Amino acid sequence: MKTEVLKKGIHSARWALIGAVVLFLLSLGINSFSFLARVRFSTGNFLNEVLVIGFIGLSIYAVLRFTGWDSMSITKRLRIALLMVVAIYVVGIGITTAAKPEFIAPRFGSSYVVRPNSISGVLVSNMIAVVALTALVICLRILQSLIFYRRKKNTARHFSLLLIVGSLTAISAAFSGKPLKYDGSANHTVTFILLILTTAMMSINLFRVGWITALNRRQKFFTFLGGLIFSIVSAGLLGAEVGGGLTYSDITYSYSVTAGAFLFMTTMFIFLYSLSTTVNALLHLPTAAIYDKKVREINSIMTLSSAINSLFDFNKIVTTVTELTSEAISAPACWLELANQKNPAFRAHFDFTSLKMQTGFHIHFLDLSSRKFIAKESNIPTNDLDHRNYIFEPTEWIIAHKQPLLLNQVKRDKMTKDLLRTPIESLVGVPLISSQELTGIIWAVKSTPFGFDQDDVAIISALANQTAVAIENARLVKESLEKERLQEELRIAHDVQMKLIPQTIPDIKSEITRLRLDIGATTIPANEVGGDYFDFVKLSEWRVGIVVADVSGKGTSAAFYMAEIKGIIQALAGIYPSPEDLLTAVNDVLYGTIDRKTFITLLYADIDISKNELRFARAGHCPMLRIHGGEKTFIASGGIGLGLDKGPIFKKSIEEKIMPIEAGDVFVMHSDGLVEARNEHGEEFGEARLCQALDHITGMSAEEIKTRIISAVRKFVGPAKAHDDLTCVVFKTDDIHKTHALSAPTGIEPIPLGENLNLK
């Protein structure tokens, strides 16, 4: 991995490296030549310095091109830096020991540089310098990456300034040919000022040690040790002898003043930065554990936040929350106690498997309904324990105070005397509060006293807030799904009910009387499903039973009874020729199956058009309206609702009317939803308005009359909401040859008679 990254970097800076190597070889050549030829010409020195500047410049460029440093872990960077410094030492000591180079003291006093006095000296100084420079360039780059770790606005500027001032210092030193020294008289004034400036820039950069905070406790400790080693090693590079009474610095200076100055300043910077790192790492050590904990807490909250957005399953939320809480505060057991929506009792919810896994000690089982800890292996079935009156006092305390509860000495607290026989020593509970309501409690326990502190309470509180939101969300999602499902079911019920209403109007006619029955009918439920219905029972070509009924109450139960009564009537109508007998029989069947509070009101008209006869019975329903010769009469024969009485009273009260029918007679059967339809002012439509709507209807078809009635009701009601189902059946007798568009013969084209709902 490392070599791969390095290779990639080197590849991108290949030309810069080749250039650096060429410059180095040239410099080596010049140095060797000038030594062997015993020529000390200043042009050679000058040329060498230029080559060295180029070499350093190209190396820095090559190293900068390699961006792998910034993505490397901090420890890895530090390891490489250490490796570089060690390399300088090993190579330096190795070469000097092997070659035993000779140097001569500077000719004009100590402020000038030493010179090699043998060809091995030349080679050694060249080799050592190149290794040192390369290694230091890499170290500098690593330092830069550390300084840039918490990059601020001025970070780059300060570092660049350091490089620029440092370069100027090195070049200025090269011109004077003297090694850098913190001694005002040793260097040219310009060089000295530049050196002071460089040092100042170094000190500014020394404070960029923010990367230390990102390390964990162990890493901080090693950084402290590493920093110490670095400062010693870098001090050694500056002052310790390598061989022949010369320091590393001296040898590099002998190769080139620029190189020496670069080594001097870089090493100085490494030394100072190492010291700064050591001190900072040391200062961070005591707080490292707390810092690590904070990081863990933040991670838990983040995990929870992201998990919660995608969690709508209640059990998964419980598992996630308990696991994360355990992890965040290092508690071996954690559970969630939740308020029961319907009943104020709390119940505990948690995942047994996760509890078992995380439980360092043995809470073998925590009874869900009793909130009771059972510490030992227990084979007592849950049912045998009396939990009904069990009160867990800490829960009661939180319910009363809506505050977190921290008990660090469980065995000494009165509130937790029930936990005496358990391994629990510390207990913390934090309320879950959602829209100011207490919805639950997160509990965590430890087997050591003083296991939790205020920070733990804070972290559970943060988790508790998230959890309360998540639980609320899960509840809302469940509710809306439930609502959607119910709506869907109601829609299905509506569709089914609409199919129970006749789809076509039977064609009833008689060649004997030359009459045809013209029928128009509709039912409009107030809600998805209604209790109103109408039906036709075709008894023969010329005889039909017409039913209009209203089941008391509304909604699903009414719809069921409607289906039932339809079946009963369809089955019995053919058997009983008299409506009175039919309804009595219907009541007998119905009474046994209907809920006591429910009853059905019904009109039944048996029309035999071949005999011009209508037999009619009413069971507690609104009377039928008859228009005969322009005269309107409500036919209210006796009869109580179906399902009210088991038989005797019903039989006694029911009354059958037989009346002749003539061409042009109109009959209107309706439900109370029609006459009791209310407008915005609470007024009822009433029978009077119904009669009014039926003025001047001569020549109209039954369908047209029905439409007129419905329009009148709609106009009257206006924007008010329908509060009851509305049913209207109109039938009239007509000449056999007069056919109306909508009185299609049965089975030819189904006409939808149930009007569609306006589902809002």
Give the binding site for another protein (CB under 8 A). Answer: 550, 552-554, 596-599, 601, 619-623, 636, 638-641, 644-645, 649, 652-653, 672, 721, 723-724
Taking the least distance from each CB to another protein, the nearer of 247 and 557 is 557
Nearer Cβ to another protein (484/655): 655
E-strand spans in 270-364? 333-339, 346-349
Cβ 522 to another protein, closest distance in Å?
20
Structure tokens at 132: 């040192």
**What is the distance in angstroms between the CA of the first residue and the CA of the last residue of the chain?**
65
Q: How far is the CB of 340 from another protein (least distance, A)?
A: 23
Q: How far is the CB of 479 from another protein (least distance, A)?
A: 22
CB nearer another protein, residue 38 or residue 596: 596
State the alpha helices, DSSP H only, in 311-413.
314-329, 352-358, 393-401
CB of 461 to another protein, least distance (A): 42
Our CB check for another protein shows the closer of 469 and 493 to be 493
Contact between residue 730 and residue 668 where contact means Cβ atoms under 8 Å apart: yes
Identify whether the C-beta of residue 540 lies closer than 8 Å to the C-beta of residue 723: no
Backbone angles phi, psi at 728, to 5 degrees: -145, 125
* Nearest-approach distance from CB 484 to another protein, in angstroms: 24
Rounded CA gap, 292 and 449, in Å? 22
Token pair for 201: 């820039």
Q: Which two tokens stand for residue 368?
A: 């869900």
Helices (H) and strands (E) in the chain, counts: 21, 22
Tell me how many degrees the CA angle 262-63-93 measures, rounded to the nearest 5.
50
Q: Rank residues 232 and 649 by Cβ distance to another protein and give the closer one.
A: 649
Could you tell me which of 347, 509, 561, 523 has the C-alpha nearest to residue 443? Answer: 347
Measured from the CB of residue 397, what is the shortest distance to another protein in angstroms? 36
Contacts 24+ apart (CB under 8 A), 369-378: 371/337, 371/346, 371/347, 371/395, 372/418, 373/418, 373/419, 373/422, 373/424, 375/421, 375/422, 375/423, 376/421
Task: Give Cα separations from 382 to 365, 369, 392, 404 (angstroms).
Answer: 10, 9, 17, 29
Residue whose CB is less far from another protein, 19 or 620: 620
CB 143 within 8 Å of CB 80 = no
**Residue 536 beta carbon to another protein: minimum distance, rounded to whole angstroms:** 24
| In the complex, least distance from residue 687 CB atom to another protein, rounded to whole angstroms | 10
Q: Which is nearer to another protein, 518 or 656 (CB)?
A: 656
To another protein, the closest distance from the beta carbon of 759 in angstroms equals 18
Q: Is 414 or 760 the residue whose CB approaches another protein more closely?
A: 760
Using the minimum distance from each CB to another protein, give the nearer residue, 342 or 737: 342
CA 287 to chain centre: 33
Q: In the complex, what is the shortest distance from the CB of residue 639 to another protein, in angstroms, rounded to a whole number?
A: 6
What is the distance between the alpha carbons of residues 302 and 297, in angstroms, rounded to a whole number? 9
DSSP string, 547-602: EEEEESS-SHHHHHHHHHHHHHHHHHTTT-SSHHHHHHHHHHHHHTTS-TT--EEE
Q: Which residue number, 35 or 604, has a Cβ lying nearer to another protein?
A: 604
